[in-house]
Amino acid sequence: MSFRFAHATPEENRMTTKTVGIDIHKSESQIAVVNDEGEPVDERRIANDQLADFAAEYAGSEAAIEASRNYFTIYDTLSEELEVTVVDPRQTRWIADSSKKTDRIDAKKLANLLRVGMVSESYVPPPAIRKRRALVRGRKKFVEKRTDCKNEIHALLDQNGISYEGSLWDEDGLEFLADVELTEPSRLLLDQWLELLGDLTEKLYALDREIERIAADVPEVQLLMTIPGVSSYSGLMIHAEIGEVDRFDEANQLVSYAGLDPVVKESGETRTEGGISKQGSSYLRYILVMSATSAVHNAKDPYLKEFYDRLRHKRGKPHKVAIVATARKLLVSIFHMLTNEEPYDPPGVTS
C-alpha cells in the first residue's frame, strides 16, 4: 500500500517548519516529512538519484539520515538544501529490534526524534579525510584477502601431508611452493593461489606507494610517525579514523570513540570494570592495537614497553588485556600530540 499526500509548493514549504526523516537503502530511500506537531505531511519512496529535487522542494528544513554504507554521497546531495543530521547508528538499533519494522515507520521515527531533539549526531568527516579513510580501509581489506590466500595455501599443503620448516612467504619458501610435487588438481590449485597471492602483493605495493605520498603532505600523520613503530599506513589510518581531533574536549572522549573505554558496572556501592565497550570505531581500535604491539615488541618503545611489561609480568594480566590497555595509553598520548601539535614525548603525558 502506498500513501500519497498533496505536496505543498516549495514556497509554501519554506513558510512552515518541516522535519524530514530519510531511511536510506542502496538505490531508493523512504522519506517521511512531519510538521511541528509530528503529524505526517508527506511520505514517499524515491530513487536516490532524485533526492536533490526532493531537497530543493523542502529547502531550509532539517533532515535526519542514518549513517549507512552510502550515506556520504547522499549527505552531500541533501546538504545543498537541507540542514542534515547524520544519526549515530548506535542510537537507531531500535530499528533493527522493532517488532513493527517497516521503512515508513523507520523514516517517521527518524523525523520525530529529530523534531524533539532526541538524536545523537554522528561525525561526518570532511571530503579530504573521507578519501584518506577510504584508502587505508581499502588497504586493510586487501591485506585480509592476502591472508585468506595464504591460509588456503597452508590448507592445501596440509591436505597433501606436506610440511615446511620456516616461512613460506620469503624467497626460499616461495621457491619451495613453486617446485613442490603435487598431484592434480592440487598442483593447479596451488599455482592459482600463488598467482593470486602475487597479484595481491603487487596491488598492496601500489597502495602503499600512494599512502606514503599522501602521508608526506599531512602534518598530523608526520606527527604520528614520531611514535616508534607507527608507519605512514598506520599513521594515516589513525589520523583518518580520528578525523578532526578538536571535536574531542578531552582524551577520555577519544578513548570512548575508539571503543577502548572499560565497561563499568555499578550495583549499590559496588563498582567493577569489565572488558572494553567496543562501541566505537573498529578500524581505529584495530590500528591502535597493531601500533601498540609494534611499539612494544618491534620498536621497543620504552614508555609503552614498560607499561605493557608491568601489566603482564607484575600484575599477571593476559597478553590481550595488557596490549589493549597499552593501546588505550597510546591513544591518550596521541590525543595530546594532535591537540598540542607536538611530536611524541611520552614522559610528559599521563593517563
Instruction: Check which CATH number belongs to the domain holding 109 and give it.
Output: 3.30.420.140
Q: What is the mean pLDDT of the chain?
A: 89
Q: Is the same domain home to 131 and 109?
A: no
Last residue of a domain, one of 217, 242, 275: 217
* Residue 33, domain extent: 10-115
d(CA 62, CA 83): 5
- Tell me the range of 67-71, 158-162, 268-272 where mean pLDDT is highest: 158-162
What one-character DSSP code corresponds to residue 300? -
Residue 19 CB contacts under 8 Å (≥ 6 apart), including other chains: 33, 34, 35, 61, 62, 63, 64, 111, 112, 114, 115
Q: Is the same domain home to 146 and 248?
A: no
Domain for residue 5, yes or no?
Answer: no
Q: Is the same domain home to 319 and 237?
A: yes
Q: Is the same domain home to 229 and 322?
A: yes
Does pLDDT of 271 surpass 90? no
> For cell 603482564, what's the residue?
312
pLDDT score at 259: 94
- Taking residue 287's Cβ as centre, other Cβ atoms within 10 Å add up to 24
Q: Is the same domain home to 182 and 236?
A: no
Q: Hey, CA dihedral for 156, 162, 166, 168, is it positive or negative?
A: negative
- Tell me the range of 85-89, 210-214, 256-260, 303-307 where mean pLDDT is highest: 210-214
Q: Is the same domain home to 246 and 340?
A: yes
pLDDT tens string 287-326 = 999 999 999 998 888 999 999 999 999 888 999 999 999 9
3-state secondary structure of 21: strand
Confidence of residue 96 (pLDDT cuts 50, 70, 90): very low
Domain for residue 4, yes or no?
Answer: no
Identify any residues that bridge with 64 across adjacent strands, giving them in sequence order: 21, 85
Q: Is the same domain home to 78 and 165?
A: no
pLDDT score at 92: 59
Number of domains in the chain: 3
pLDDT score at 349: 46
pLDDT score at 7: 55
Distance of CA 242 to the CA centre of its chain: 10
To the nearest 10 degrees (0 to 180), the angle between helices 302-309 and 282-297 is: 100
Domain for residue 140, yes or no?
Answer: yes
Domain for residue 295, yes or no?
Answer: yes
Q: Is the same domain home to 135 and 196?
A: yes
Domain for residue 41, yes or no?
Answer: yes
Q: Which amino acid is at 259?
A: G
Tell me the mean pLDDT in the region 120-128.
90
3-state secondary structure of 29: strand
ω into 346 cis (within 30 of 0): no
> For cell 573521507, what's the residue?
130
pLDDT score at 105: 83
Confidence of residue 151 (pLDDT cuts 50, 70, 90): very high
d(CA 183, CA 4): 66
What are the backbone dihedrals phi and psi of residue 286, each rounded to the nearest 5 degrees, phi first? -60, -50
pLDDT score at 351: 45
Domain for residue 122, yes or no?
Answer: no
Q: Hey, CA dihedral for 284, 290, 294, 295, is it positive or negative?
A: positive
Does pLDDT of 211 surpass 70? yes
Last residue of a domain, one of 217, 234, 267: 217
Tell me the mean pLDDT in the region 254-281.
78
Distance of CA 4 to the CA centre of its chain: 38
Which of 77-91, 217-231, 262-276, 277-291 has the lowest average pLDDT?
A: 262-276
Which of 93-107, 112-126, 265-279 has the lowest average pLDDT?
A: 93-107
Specify the higher pLDDT residue, 349 or 207.
207
What are the backbone dihedrals phi and psi of residue 271, each rounded to the nearest 5 degrees, phi first? -130, 120
How far is CA 308 from each of CA 302, 324, 331, 332, rounded to the nearest angstrom? 10, 9, 14, 15
Q: Is the same domain home to 274 and 203?
A: no
pLDDT score at 70: 72
Tell me the mean pLDDT in the region 113-120.
89
Q: Is the same domain home to 239 and 338?
A: yes
Confidence of residue 97 (pLDDT cuts 50, 70, 90): low
Would you say 18 and 59 are in contact if contact means Cβ atoms under 8 Å apart? no
Tell me the mean pLDDT in the region 4-26.
70
Last residue of a domain, one of 89, 115, 141: 115
Would you say 172 and 164 are in contact if contact means Cβ atoms under 8 Å apart? no
Domain for residue 1, yes or no?
Answer: no
| C-alpha R_g of the chain | 25
pLDDT tens string 164-178 = 999 999 999 999 999
Q: Is the same domain home to 208 and 157?
A: yes
Q: Is the same domain home to 344 and 319?
A: yes
Domain for residue 31, yes or no?
Answer: yes
